[in-house]
Structure 1
Amino acid sequence: MNEKQNAAALSSGEDDIQAILHKVIIAHQQALALLQQTETAYSRLVPHQLLSLLQARSIVDVKLGDQVERKMTILFSDIRDFTPLSESMTPAENFEFINSYLSQMEPVISRHHGIIDKYIGDAIMALFEKGADEALRGAIAMLERLAYYNAGRERAGYRPIHIGIGLNSGMVMIGTVGGINRMDSTVIGDAVNLAARLEEATKIYNTPLLISHNTLYDLNTPDAYHFRFIDRLRVKGKAQPLSLYEVFDVDDPRLRRHKSDTREDFEQAVAYYHLKDIAQALPRFERCAEHCPEDLPARIYLERCHEYQATQHHYGTSELSTPLLWKAEFQTGIEPVDAAHHALIERINQLAACILHNEPIDFDEMFAFLQQQCASLFPYEEKLMREHDYPFADSHAHEHRHFIANYRAMQNQSCNGCKDQRYLAYRLVLLLLDWFSSHASKADRHFARHMQNTATRQTATIPGAK
């Protein structure tokens, strides 16, 4: 083979290598594009925010049993009277309608940093890690978007739809459950169950948005919203009821003004209904309903008052007539904390007895007790949390500050000569009951378990330790 032939052969070989490399690069790019498409498709099923919470870079990093604990606000929403609406449509129309509705809600939730955990038919379960304010703004925005969506439905000749939304805040476990061949992400905790119950309760009061005291007390700017106390809810399996609040920011302007103007009258009426003092409750509810017949919760309570007068059937929790007893499950194992909780229970029971028997209450002494408790207990707890690197120390201290702000607001009312002392006492005892059920018997015990687990791990790492 001469020199020219050698050069031609060498050139041909280089061209073949270039062609092979080009094919490899093209195949690699196609594989990357397919992987990106697959990742994007999976992200529609498992949100990136959820992967981030599980500390997974991609879906392939997620393993069965992965779990993480977080404080979150949980949102449940559901279309009211969906079953009869669904029965009027074909299966194909049902899917088209549900997807049309959900496609309106999903961007709203995402804009407020919510993570849609799952769709349950027409229902939505979403998680908000960035605080109760973001969750509440998201819920309000959902109702505003619903009004826009309903305007389009009416133009097309369809009936408007109504939804109920429940919000509750608390500690949850986020993780994966299932088996080797099929697993799913899920969120577990009392906070989730309570949020679902609040959504169900929206049907009882014919109001679209209810929040728990857990969410209300977790708000950074509660004065930015329109809300009123609406009831105490006893949840199956839970010893202590919880307070419900109606948020009416999305009501039409006239109804919103009415509820704002009559808020004190309405809340006093609810308090007296729970105290079975119908003579005090009835005229207040009547004023609310007469002033604005569209105030459906006021009309519902009017019916309850009349039913109680006729049959003695009462929808209240009767919790004040049953003293709060110390239980082993309340124990934290931190002596100063447990002693403070014991003292708090005694004060709650004393206050409840005075309210029930309509006896005079020494508010000065009660608020002095609370001030002393907060001044000694809260700094002690916060110091322990810092020493033990408690991951939820900031949230815990945030709850302390909100409790202080709430009881001081009532203290100011007392000092300024509140006319209805029994009503003020009722509000105070509810604040203390809610505080005990959500913070003293939950958050404090959560921290105590963290201390115990930390001590156990430290002992296990010491050579020769048993």
Structure 2
Amino acid sequence: MAAEREAHAGTRARLKLLERTLLHFVPRDLISFLGKSSLLDVELGDQVEKTMTVMFTDIRNFTHLSESMSPQQTFNMINSYLSAMNPVISSHHGIIDKYMGDAIMALFPTSADDALKSALSMLARLDEYNAGRTRAAYPPIRIGIGVNTGRLMLGVIGGGNRMEGTVISHAVNLASRLQTLTKTFGTPLLISEHTLYSLSEAHRFSVRHLGRVNVPGTVHTESLYEVFDHDATDIKACKIRSLKKFEEAVACYHLRAAGRALPMLEEIVRENPGDIPASVYLQRCVESLQTGLYIDPEEAGAKMEWHHDEELGIAEIDQQHRELLDIIKQLHQAVTVSHDHETSASLIHKLEKLIRDHFEFEERLMQQQHYPFAADHISQHNSFKYYFLRLKQEIEEHSEDPLYLGFRIKLLLADWLTNHAKRDDRHLGRFLTERGILKPQPPAHT
């Protein structure tokens, strides 16, 4: 019996050692998210849906750097860099999902604020790391970081003799796309609209709208935002002073008004040559005035219509969406075309009430039916109300250019409502109909 117990103990010890070894390749948190206590319990097809913030980072010009090094030196550099970044991510409650050569994909399950703080801390840590490289006569490393927030599916995929944990979501694709766009705009950190609206303390960060881009694999454009807290003190101060002028110039460019954007951008770049995104837009304006071509343009009079494929099939919510977008469309017309302040004020008041009623209806429904993503959904509502009140103040003060205000009405109201309905409300609708709580209705034709 003693020998048998000893053999069992030895087997358990070897299994524990095997599991500890395998956990170097599989994030322990993934196992916990799947409701498993051990890696040995994980099976093909296990999956769970969560709201998280996704971060992608990548070393700039890595191919050029590696060409001057031996294979051993290349791996030494990558491992040294990753060893510097890993603790920063972990200290902000991040989970490294995978390494992809010189790139990192990390997940932040607690909050978007954690992800953004981690990104800024990584840039600060990179400064320290580069100081060491400079002392050793090595060139500094630059990185780009893209951050996006959304629902994603974590699970186990595979076939035959191989399985692996993976994350599937449009949120992942957009985070990767944002990281790539840091090269285009010459800035190290970009976040999506979804992350901006998920921040509980957005006012603590220095953020400016950097335009709208078409994202491969989707039929609509996405807003991107630059977070510039890590900039040199003088560059950051200038960006803060010129923030409104910069965002107005960006709006004019996207509305095919490069002639109006050009002098604003010339002034910004003259006062702050280190503002690389402003220089990028300045060059775009020069080229657009020469060629008549624009990158990712918006139409000043673009129709704001509710399309059938955006409906949930839930009569109450679909009707509220149509009413909201109709009022937003009227407000856009009053501000940009008729310049009717009295009508604008009346529409803002009506819109504010409709928003309140719509959000209260959805939130009551979510709480009554124990919707598992209610907290995230309500947080999005609260963020929208915050930005709506800021826009309301701008409209009521009558001090902004109508073209710029029209762009912001479309950006902060119409586009947000459409994206929110496609992403968050559709998920809620699917939850309700799958459980038979609400019966789907045929889409209304308008």
TM-score (norm. length: structure 1)? 0.89
Which residue of 2 is the match for residue 281 of structure 1?
261
1:336 aligns with 2:308: no
In 2, distance between residues paired with 1:276 and 1:155?
48
Task: Tell me which of 382, 395, 410 is aligned to 2:363.
Answer: 382
State the shift of 1:421 in Å: 3.8
In 2, distance between residues paired with 1:382 and 1:59?
37
Task: Tell me which of 263, 274, 283 is aligned to 2:243.
Answer: 263
Which residue of 2 is the match for residue 215 of structure 1?
195
Amino acid at match of 2:425: D
In 1, distance between residues paired with 2:438 and 2:303?
39
In 1, distance between residues paired with 2:222 and 2:177?
11
Which residue of 1 is the match for residue 24 of structure 2?
44
- 1:65-93 deviations in whole A, cap 9, x for unaligned? 11111111111111111111122222222
Which residue of 1 is the match for residue 443 of structure 2?
none
Which residue of 2 is the match for residue 312 of structure 1?
292
Matches within 5 A, 1:150-229: 150-229=130-209
In 1, distance between residues paired with 2:265 and 2:110?
37
- 1:253-284 deviations in whole A, cap 9, x for unaligned? 11111111111111111111112223321111
- 1:350-402 deviations in whole A, cap 9, x for unaligned? 45566775855643133223212122111111111122221011111111111
In 1, distance between residues paired with 2:109 and 2:191?
16
| Structure 2 spans left out of the alignment, 5+ residues | 440-446
Greater alpha carbon shift after TM alignment, 134-143 vs 371-380 = 371-380
State the shift of 1:344 in Å: 2.9
Name the larger-Rg structure.
Answer: 1
Q: Assess if the C-alpha contact under 8 Å between 1:213 and 1:434 holds in 2.
A: no
Q: Assess if the C-alpha contact under 8 Å between 2:335 and 2:344 holds in 1.
A: no
Which residue of 2 is the match for residue 72 of structure 1?
52
Which residue of 2 is the match for residue 432 of structure 1?
413
After superposition, the Cα gap between the structure-2 partners of 1:457 and 1:426, relative to the gap in structure 1 and judged at 3 Å, is closer
Q: Assess if the C-alpha contact under 8 Å between 1:128 and 1:134 holds in 2.
A: yes
Q: Assess if the C-alpha contact under 8 Å between 1:407 and 1:428 holds in 2.
A: no
Q: Assess if the C-alpha contact under 8 Å between 1:132 and 1:219 holds in 2.
A: yes
In 1, distance between residues paired with 2:438 and 2:197?
34
- 1:14-56 deviations in whole A, cap 9, x for unaligned? xxxxxx73x6666555544433332222221111111111111
| Structure 1 spans left out of the alignment, 5+ residues | 1-19, 459-466
After superposition, the Cα gap between the structure-2 partners of 1:32 and 1:320, relative to the gap in structure 1 and judged at 3 Å, is farther
Amino acid at match of 1:193: N
Q: Assess if the C-alpha contact under 8 Å between 1:218 and 1:399 holds in 2.
A: yes
State the shift of 1:324 in Å: 3.9
1:454 aligns with 2:435: yes
Pairs aligned (count): 438
Q: Secondary structure at the match of 2:435?
A: helix
Amino acid at match of 2:279: R
Could you list the structure 1 runs, at least 4 aligned residues long, displaced by more than 6 angstroms after superposition: none
User: What is the alpha-carbon root mean square deviation over aligned residues?
Assistant: 2.2
State the shift of 1:327 in Å: 3.1
Which residue of 2 is the match for residue 444 of structure 1?
425
Which residue of 2 is the match for residue 402 of structure 1?
383
Amino acid at match of 1:220: S
Amino acid at match of 2:72: A
After superposition, the Cα gap between the structure-2 partners of 1:250 and 1:207, relative to the gap in structure 1 and judged at 3 Å, is same
TM-score (norm. length: structure 2)? 0.93
Amino acid at match of 1:243: S
After superposition, the Cα gap between the structure-2 partners of 1:355 and 1:418, relative to the gap in structure 1 and judged at 3 Å, is closer
In 2, distance between residues paired with 1:325 and 1:410?
21
Q: Secondary structure at the match of 1:391?
A: coil
Q: Secondary structure at the match of 2:23?
A: helix
After superposition, the Cα gap between the structure-2 partners of 1:159 and 1:366, relative to the gap in structure 1 and judged at 3 Å, is farther
Q: Assess if the C-alpha contact under 8 Å between 2:432 and 2:438 holds in 1.
A: no
Q: Secondary structure at the match of 1:243?
A: strand
Q: Secondary structure at the match of 2:37?
A: coil
- 1:127-186 deviations in whole A, cap 9, x for unaligned? 111011011001111111111111111111110011100011111111111113101111
Greater alpha carbon shift after TM alignment, 88-97 vs 352-361 = 352-361
Which residue of 2 is the match for residue 12 of structure 1?
none
Which residue of 1 is the match for residue 222 of structure 2?
242
Matches within 5 A, 1:109-148: 109-148=89-128
Q: Secondary structure at the match of 1:170?
A: strand
Which residue of 1 is the match for residue 276 of structure 2?
296
Q: Assess if the C-alpha contact under 8 Å between 2:334 and 2:340 holds in 1.
A: yes
Q: Assess if the C-alpha contact under 8 Å between 1:418 and 1:424 holds in 2.
A: no
Which residue of 1 is the match for residue 442 of structure 2?
none
Amino acid at match of 1:374: I
After superposition, the Cα gap between the structure-2 partners of 1:173 and 1:113, relative to the gap in structure 1 and judged at 3 Å, is same
Greater alpha carbon shift after TM alignment, 67-76 vs 228-237 = 228-237
Greater alpha carbon shift after TM alignment, 220-229 vs 38-47 = 38-47
Task: Tell me which of 401, 426, 429 is aligned to 1:420.
Answer: 401
Which residue of 2 is the match for residue 373 of structure 1?
354
